[in-house]
Amino acid sequence: MAYSEKVIDHYENPRNVGAMNKEDGGVGTGMVGAPACGDVMRLQIKVNAQGIIEDAKFKTYGCGSAIASSSLVTEWVKGKTLDEAMTIKNSHIAEELELPPVKIHCSVLAEDAIKAAVEDYRSKQGAAQSSQGGEAVSAQVAH
Amino acid sequence: MNSSQIIELDSKKPLLIDPDRPIYLDYQATTPVDPQVLEQMLPYLTHDFGNAASRSHAYGWTAEKAVDKARQQVADAIHADPREVVWTSGATESTNLALKGAAHFYSGKGKHIITLRTEHKATLDTCRQLEREGFEVTYLEVQEDGLVDLKAFEAAIRPDTIVASVLFVNNEIGVIQPMAEIGRILRAHKVLFHVDAAQALGKVPVDVEAIQADMMSLSGHKMYGPKGIGALYVRRKPRVRVEAQVHGGGHERGMRSGTLPTHQIVGMGAAAELAVQLMDSDAQRIGKLRDRLLKGIQERVEETYINGSMEHRVPHNLNISFAFVEGESLIMALKEIAVSSGSACTSASLEPSYVLRALGKSDELAHSSIRFGIGRFTTEAEIDATIELIAGKVGKLRELSPLWEMHQEGIDLNSIQWAAH
């Protein structure tokens, strides 16, 4: 399969690989996909007091397009508000990376990962506001 | 340094090795034509171009003589009579002719066919077509090591079973089925035995008498012959009949019409003879390389799993799953080596290998498998470079893998409710 140069670049030099503390109240974690399907993405965002995503990290088990899609979204969400991040669509990712039709699901998964991370962060904040703190991180989000 | 260098092999003609190309470890996909084989083929493209069916002049006689010699070479390689060899375009066509041909001819006797879940697609897809025509097919499970259970095999035979088809050496995992035992069972029940020996000839002794094969599919390009040529062995005593699938001219005693491609046939004959000649020395040398590869990988990379029996296996194949990395990204990382993955992502479908699934492997392990096919021209330096690459790239991908991180933290991945998608 011929990959676009952008996919190869992200694959060979993935941006923002790593892990954040899932228990940190300012961190939202989204993990989507399943090993049996050949791809699992974990996206983590660190959100500051102003509601801006100031850092993002990922780890992905999956094909080159899945790795590239998740690497790309870590770049894209940084500096965005949560609402802005939620506007990122799989079609933007697929277009940027020039994904072939069989790889569109990778971009769908990356979009889902953003949503899952934002939702996780928001549920933590909601839990904290109702002074229930220390709610377990829900790492699994159906999509 | 020059972009390519010529190295001298044992054979008289040089093989071009290009250091800018990946290391070729996909010998179960195809093999290069051995230079000794090519040399014998070339005159039949130009000077000796006649049609073997031309009975009235010397051009035809020369071609016919060459075809007869090749037919004898292929027959000798499998301990058959040359009159039992039918030329085809390859093992896929041979298998189509064998199964459709026998099913159609013997449909009055019965409608049932037996095969294995781990067969090559040429067999499985042909069986699917026969099902559409009203035949019934039993796709037998294999054991965890890839071998068929003989009791289950015998139990699958019904009074209306007409033919069974078994892959001698599996193309993905290299396991060798117990052909002699299967042949004995089928003969006792008067069921025709078709053997797909495309991956077997040149790797293991192939003897149609010893395994009581009634039909056998062979391929040129899997044994250092040209692509586009194959053969079907069709037993004469007791006589096996197949209905032709290609009509026009009545070549090959009516079983397969079409002008014979003399140069291809000469190549297949020469390749078959050479394959048998070199079988022992090839297997010994290749076996050492395979052991070196396996040891190197196992010493450098943890959490690897061998797919298929190591005991009943050709030395030319190694199929390993690398847990916690995904197959296609591994293939992409290994662009300096040409190998195949058990993940069919590369072919536009997201299905993991059906062969590995049939062994009871999880989808994850099936996705992360790599088939290493070692061949006549593989060198020790190539194996060592491969070990280095595998160790480095698997390590890099595991650093990227959330599954590896979870495994390192002691989380059982099976305990997690994954969302299917």
pLDDT tens-digit map of B220-271 = 999 999 999 999 999 999 999 999 999 999 999 999 999 999 999 999 999 9
Q: Does a structural domain hold residue B419?
A: no
Looking at the structure, do residues B381 and B244 belong to the same domain, yes or no?
no
CA distance A4 to chain B (A): 13
Looking at the structure, do residues B364 and B328 belong to the same domain, yes or no?
yes
Which of B276, B292, B315 is the endpoint of a domain? B276
Over range B36-40, report the average pLDDT. Answer: 97
pLDDT higher than threshold 50 for residue B219: yes
Looking at the structure, do residues B345 and B283 belong to the same domain, yes or no?
yes
Per-residue buried b or exposed e for B128-155, using 16+ beta carbons within 10 Å of the residue's own CB:
eebeeeebebbbbebeebbbbeeeebee
How many CA atoms lie less than 13 Å away from B67 in the CB half-sphere? 26
Which of B222, B244, B276 is the endpoint of a domain? B276
Q: How many domains does chain B have?
A: 2
Looking at the structure, do residues B257 and B208 belong to the same domain, yes or no?
yes
Looking at the structure, do residues B334 and B258 belong to the same domain, yes or no?
no
Domains along the sequence of chain A with CATH: 5-122 (3.90.1010.10)
Which of B246, B276, B306 is the endpoint of a domain? B276
Chain A residues in contact with chain B using a Cβ-Cβ cutoff of 8 Å: 1, 3, 11, 14, 17, 19, 31-42, 59-64, 66-67, 102, 105, 109, 140-143
Q: Does a structural domain hold residue B396?
A: yes
Q: Does a structural domain hold residue B6?
A: no
Q: Does a structural domain hold residue B337?
A: yes
Looking at the structure, do residues B174 and B283 belong to the same domain, yes or no?
no
Looking at the structure, do residues B314 and B222 belong to the same domain, yes or no?
no
Cα B339-B343-B347 angle, rounded to 5 deg: 85
Distance spanning both ends of chain B, measured CA to CA: 50
Residue B130 in tokens: 């026969």
Q: Does a structural domain hold residue B156?
A: yes
Looking at the structure, do residues B302 and B217 belong to the same domain, yes or no?
no
pTM of the model: 0.88
Looking at the structure, do residues B245 and B287 belong to the same domain, yes or no?
no
CATH classification at residue B184: 3.40.640.10
Q: What is the ipTM of this complex?
A: 0.87
Range of the domain at B283: 279-403
Chain A to chain B Cβ contacts (< 8 Å): 92
Report residue B162's pLDDT band, with 50, 70 and 90 as the boundaries.
very high
Q: How far apart are CA B58 and CA A124, in angstroms?
A: 89
The overall average pLDDT reported for chain B is 93
Report residue A76's pLDDT band, with 50, 70 and 90 as the boundaries.
very high
pLDDT score recorded for residue B344: 52
Residues 6+ apart with CB under 8 A from A46: A20, A24, A26, A27, A53, A54, A55, A56
Q: Does a structural domain hold residue B312?
A: yes
CATH classification at residue B362: 3.90.1150.10
Looking at the structure, do residues B286 and B344 belong to the same domain, yes or no?
yes
pLDDT higher than threshold 90 for residue B418: no
Q: Does a structural domain hold residue B33?
A: no
Over range B55-71, report the average pLDDT. Answer: 98
User: Which residues of A are less than 8 Å from B418 in CB distance?
Assistant: 33-36, 40, 140
User: Which residues of B are less than 8 Å from A11 in CB distance?
Assistant: 329, 332
Looking at the structure, do residues B260 and B391 belong to the same domain, yes or no?
no
CB burial class (10 A; 0-12, 13-18, 19+) of residue B295?
exposed
Looking at the structure, do residues B309 and B194 belong to the same domain, yes or no?
no
Give the best residue of B330, B343, B345 to mutate against chain A (max A CB count within 10 A): B345
Strands (E), chain A: 27-34, 39-47, 53-61
Q: Which residue is catalytic, options A37, A102, A128, A139?
A: A37
The overall average pLDDT reported for chain A is 89
Contact B418 A34 (CB under 8 A): yes
B206: nearest Cα among B188, B198, B310, B30: B198
Report residue A130's pLDDT band, with 50, 70 and 90 as the boundaries.
low
Q: Does a structural domain hold residue B22?
A: no
